[in-house]
A = this chain, B = another copy of it.
Amino acid sequence: MAHSLRQKLADLVLTGELRPGDRLDEQSLATRFGVSRTPIREAIRQLAASGLIETRPRRSAVVRSFNREELGEAFEAMGEIEALCAGRAALRMNEAERLRLRSVIAASEDTCARGDRTAALELDFEFHGLLHDGARNWMLKAIAEETRMKITPYSAALFTMEDYEADLLQPHQQHAAIAQSVLDCDAVAAGKLMREHIAQTLIALETFFETASENNITSTKKGSGG
C-alpha cells in the first residue's frame, strides 16, 4: 500500500505498459483500480501537472510524447541539471554516501558483465539518485527527478528492449568515470563528464529509434507535430 493511486498511474507509464501517445481512459482505469472516476481524474491532473501526461479539453489524457526536437531539448536540460547535481555532490557528499557510490558502481560492473538489463536499469536510477541526494539541495533534487521521470518512457527503452543490442558497458564506464571524479571531489570534472554522459545517452536513444522507425519517435500513427 505504499503506492498512492497517483503512483500506480505513473507506474503504468514508467514501466512501459502505457507508451507515449497512449490514451488514459478514466472509466477503464477506475474499474481496473477498483475506485470511482473521481480519484482517477484527480490523479490524472496531478500527473499532467508534473508533465508525464498531457491533457486537452474534452480529450482523453495521453502519455506525453516528444518529437526529436523536444527530446533533444529535454536531454540538454537534463544534462545541465544532472551536471549541477554531480558537481555539487562532488563537493558535498559525506563518507557514507561515497562508500555507497563505490558499491553501486561495483554492483553495476557485475550486472553489466552478466548482461542483466533489468538490474542495470535499477542501478542506473540508484546511481543518479545518489548524486541527487549528495547535492544537498532539495529543489535541485526535485527538478532532477522530475526531469528524469519525464524522459523515462523513452530512455528505459535502451535497457528493456530485448531486440536492441545496446552496449551496457559504455554507460557503466561513464558512470564509473563520473563516480571517480565525485570521489576525488573534482566538481568540474564530474559536471563535465555527466554532461557528456547524458549527451551520449541521447545519441544512443536516437540511434535506437532511428533503427526502430523511419522518422517517427513515438509508436503512434500520427506523430505529434512540433
Pick from B38, B84, B143, B147: contact of A38, CB below 8 A. Answer: B38
Is residue A18 within 8 Å, beta carbon to beta carbon, of the partner chain? no
Roughly how many angstroms separate A136 CA and B69 CA in the complex, as a whole number? 11
Roughly how many angstroms separate A76 CA and B91 CA in the complex, as a whole number? 15
Is residue A42 within 8 Å, beta carbon to beta carbon, of the partner chain? yes
Query: Does A49 lie within 8 Å of B45, measured CB to CB?
Result: yes
Is residue A145 within 8 Å, beta carbon to beta carbon, of the partner chain? no
Known contacts A41-B42, A42-B41; A139 and B49 CB within 8 A of each other? no
Is residue A177 within 8 Å, beta carbon to beta carbon, of the partner chain? no
Give the copy number. Answer: 2
Contacts of A45 in B (CB 8 A): 42-43, 45-46, 49
Is residue A186 within 8 Å, beta carbon to beta carbon, of the partner chain? no
* Interface contacts beyond A78-B139, A80-B84: sample of 19 additional A-B pairs, CB < 8 Å, sorted by A: A42-B42, A45-B46, A45-B49, A46-B49, A49-B49, A49-B50, A51-B142, A73-B139, A73-B140, A74-B139, A76-B137, A76-B139, A76-B140, A77-B137, A77-B139, A77-B140, A80-B140, A143-B143, A143-B147
With both beta carbons as reference points, the residue of chain B lying nearest to A76 in the complex is identified as B137
Q: Which of A58-111 contact B (CB under 8 A)?
A: 70, 73-74, 76-78, 80-81, 84
